[in-house]
Amino acid sequence: MTERAKTEVLISQHQIAVRVATLANEIAAALPKDMTIVSLLRGSFVFTADLIRALHAAGAQPQVEFMTLASYGRGTTSSGTVEIVRDMTESVEGRDVLIVDDILESGRTLTFARDLITGRGAKSVRIAVLLEKPGKRAVEIDADFVGFVVEDKFVVGYGLDYANRYRELPFIGVITA
Ligand code: IMP
Ligand code: MG
């Protein structure tokens, strides 16, 4: 493999750990113990793994589901569509759901996920994102729980990728040339 571009730390491993613990406390206070987490793959798997352990420390006992969504046409058309690549396995009917995603940008992915889960009869649907980029929304949607608001730069690490690389970085970084 050729040498890949270097990265610069934007949010450190320690900053993430502190914030995730706080978020978990907020989530545990707002949702019933017996919530269903729907983690949107692939970007949110690292955040989800840390969040559920922090939720345990905060007294919650979540069920955990995974769903892979893909969005097309982002940035090129105004009507980017979202598709289910791999669905979750359990029913969300009557469940208090917390959708967990890596980053809220255009809002299309989370709008699709929220509407889908609502349509399947969830009792309540809340959204937690590690990162939010303001001013980039194509559809109006807000997350109930936000880890960090970041400026409009392409970020990688802690599950987030560039061309399916950099997910393993323990921090959130930006690619430097
Ligand atoms: P949107 O809110 O539907 O535009 O989609 C957000 C999705 O785009 C996220 O789940 C990420 O997979 C991806 N994404 C958006 N911004 C970034 C970034 O800065 N780094 C890595 N992935 C990103
Ligand atoms: Mg993603």
- The CATH number of residue 121's host domain is 3.40.50.2020
Residue 88 lies in a domain: yes
CB of 132 shorter than 6 A to ligand 1: no
Taking only the tens place, the pLDDT of each residue in 68-91 is 999 875 544 445 799 999 999 999
Burial class (CB in 10 A: 0-12, 13-18, 19+), 89: exposed
If you search the block for the tokens 């996920």, which residue do you land on? 113
Domain that residue 61 falls in: 18-153
Residue 44 lies in a domain: yes
Taking only the tens place, the pLDDT of each residue in 88-132 is 999 999 999 999 999 999 999 999 999 999 999 999 999 999 999
Among 71, 100, 103, name the best residue to mutate to test ligand 1's pocket (greatest count of ligand atoms within 8 A of Cβ).
Answer: 103
Residue 5 lies in a domain: no
* Ligand 1 centroid to residue 103 C-alpha, Å: 5
CA distance 132 to 125: 18
Residue 67 lies in a domain: yes
The pLDDT value given to residue 4: 85
Report CA-CA distances (Å) from 106 to 31, 50, 56, 73.
26, 25, 31, 11
pTM, 2 dp: 0.94
Q: What is the number of domains present in the chain? A: 1
